[in-house]
Amino acid sequence: MLKLWVLLVTLGLASQGRAQGPVLAGVAPVLEGGIGFSYVKSDVPSQGNMAMNGVLVSGRGDLNAYLGTKLEVGYSRSFDAFQTGRRADILTYMGGPVFYPVRRRKFSIYAQVLLGGARETGVNFESNGGGAGFQYRISPALSLWPEVEYLRTSFFNSNVAIQGQPNLRTSLSLMYTFGRRE
């Protein structure tokens, strides 16, 4: 009888032990990196609007399902600014938090707040921005990220005073996911 009782207890505990998943050694963030095309509509106060095309390189790290971080470097250029024959360019380098209010298997919607700097035609100043975007997964490793950002940069005006400048940047990036998203 004792042997039968030991056998039943052993079989009962074995089935409970098998139903449990493995113990996680640690949790790592999901990392993504990519490159894309950007279009910047720069509002120069004394001249009007100027269109610039360029490239955007970004990296993201998700801390959990709703919060992540982003680093991005963007370069946009106009080869004939206001029909003067001169070029104008803007280089932005910013980083900040990314919030994911909606996240599904094939798509996500996100909002971001970025701080950093910008170089406008040779002069570096601080810059900030915010925006929103949409992620669409093409495959488990590749996704498209269309986004719209408001950028606030600064420059010297004609009176040699620092003046703020609003910019609107739209971009489409192809991102590669390092690791596995659940």
The reply to whether 66 falls in a domain is: yes
CATH at 132: 2.40.160
d(CA 88, CA 36): 20
Total domain count, the chain: 1
The reply to whether 3 falls in a domain is: no
**What share of the chain in percent tops pLDDT 90?**
41
| pTM for this predicted structure | 0.74
**Mean pLDDT, range 106-117, rounded to an integer:** 93
The reply to whether 181 falls in a domain is: no
Range of the domain at 57: 29-156
**What is the band of 93 on the pLDDT scale with cuts at 50, 70, 90?**
very high
* Residue 10 DSSP one-character state: H
Any idea of the CA torsion for 165, 168, 169, 170, to the nearest 10 degrees?
Answer: 180
d(CA 148, CA 157): 26
